[in-house]
Amino acid sequence: MFDGLKDKLSSFREDVEASTDADEASESEDADEESASGSAAGTAEPADADSPVDAASPDEETDGSADPSTFQRAKAFATGRIIIEEEDLEEPLWDLEMALLESDVEMSVAEQILETVRETMLGESRKQVETTGELVERALHDALLDVIAVGQFDFEERIAEAEKPLTIVFTGVNGVGKTTTIAKLSEWLADRGYSSVLANGDTYRAGANEQIAEHADRLDRDLISHDQGGDPAAVIYDGVEYAAANDVDVVLGDTAGRLHTSDDLMAQLEKIDRVVDPDMTLFVDEAVAGQDAVNRAKEFNEAAEIDGAVLTKADADSSGGAAISVAYVTGKPILFLGTGQGYDDLARFDPEALVDSLLGEE
């Protein structure tokens, strides 16, 4: 999963290492020349990494606002440290930006990642016993986590603490796997001891009742549905009433696939919000849709506020752009990833685990 993005992040680390390795070799030569010059004059003393140098320490010599001089860099090297400059990062950061955009990472998200990496590393003074690769990984880890983990909350804890029945409504465009995601989440809830009822608010699409009824039969769940053309809000309201009367924990409400520009369908969603007042509205889209999924998530959130997102087909996505970007552009978390065709193929989204995976740390 997201193998293409993993490779590009690895390339960035290698590029920075190559750049700083070249500088390190140059600094070593400068330090040797300075030492030889000092010895010839009979004034040189051996460098001691544990004793102060005659000017500010390497960490104090630069605050990232100006490049350290060749002398400062050579002196830092002599005391066992390396300073990372803008020139070391310029080309690798450009390549990283192109790599992120090619992986369908949204522009503002890519810019935020780059800025965090730059701020973390520019002027960084590291001990020679550390590697530049370790610094890069640390900077990338923090930058990626900052954008991926936006808005995260403990979904299971919220289910446990909510007054029952809890109502979750699913929205998104047609064909992205909303109905299958509802069935998967019903199974996920059952595995944790929660009962659920399915309510088909997708009342206009031909075959919608049959599709969700097939899932309900396979999972042995009750289904609330009306005839085609019925009021979606009324269907989900009936689902809530049924759940309250039968001690069912969670109502999972499907809705018609819609575009944010479809006024009639958006009005239906607004009516569902008004009549049912769902506890959560989850946006569903395909991870493989990349930038399109990111744009739709932003537009849906602006049209009818969402509480979180589910990305389907994550197992088939090599770019990772949607997973990187959706939370940052909406301010709402990704909660689940669809990772296959089975009812058990629904994984809680773990930002820390995803970052570790992208950086090859798992």
pLDDT tens column, 144-156: 999 999 999 999 9
SS3 label, residue 293: helix
**Highest-confidence segment of 46-55, 71-80, 191-200:** 191-200
320, 323, 328, 332 alpha-carbon torsion, rounded to 10°: 170
Query: Which backbone phi and psi does 335 adopt, to 5 degrees?
Result: -105, -35
Residue found by looking up tokens 């065709």 in the block: 341
**Using alpha carbons only, what angle is made at residue 70 by residues 68 and 72, rounded to the nearest 5 degrees?**
55
Report whether pLDDT(203) > 90.
no
Q: Which helix (H) or strand (E) holds 159?
A: helix 155-161
pLDDT at position 244 is: 97
CATH number of the 3-148 domain: 1.20.120.140
pLDDT at position 182 is: 96
SS3 label, residue 196: strand
Q: Is the pTM of this model over 0.75?
A: yes
Alpha-carbon span 117 to 16, nearest angstrom: 12
Q: Which residues are annotated as a binding site?
A: 172-179, 254-258, 312-315
Q: With bands split at pLDDT 50, 70 and 90, how would you rate the model's confidence at 321?
A: confident
Report whether pLDDT(64) > 80.
no
User: CATH homologous superfamily of domain 155-349?
Assistant: P-loop containing nucleotide triphosphate hydrolases (3.40.50.300)
**Highest-confidence segment of 35-39, 44-48, 238-242:** 238-242
Domain 3-148 and domain 155-349, same fold? Reply is no
Residue ranges per structural domain of the chain: 3-148, 155-349
Q: Which residues are annotated as a binding site for GTP?
A: 172-179, 254-258, 312-315
Q: Minimum mean pLDDT among 83-87, 238-242, 257-261, 319-323: which range?
A: 257-261
pLDDT digits (tens, 9 = 90+) for 88-137: 778 888 888 898 998 889 999 999 999 998 888 776 655 544 566 677 78
User: Which residues, including other chains, have CB under 8 Å from residue 317's CB and lie 6 or more apart?
Assistant: 1, 2, 287, 288, 290, 311, 323
Q: Hey, what are 112's tokens?
A: 């935020």
Long-range contacts of 66-71 (CB under 8 A, 24+ apart): 68/123, 70/30, 71/30, 71/34
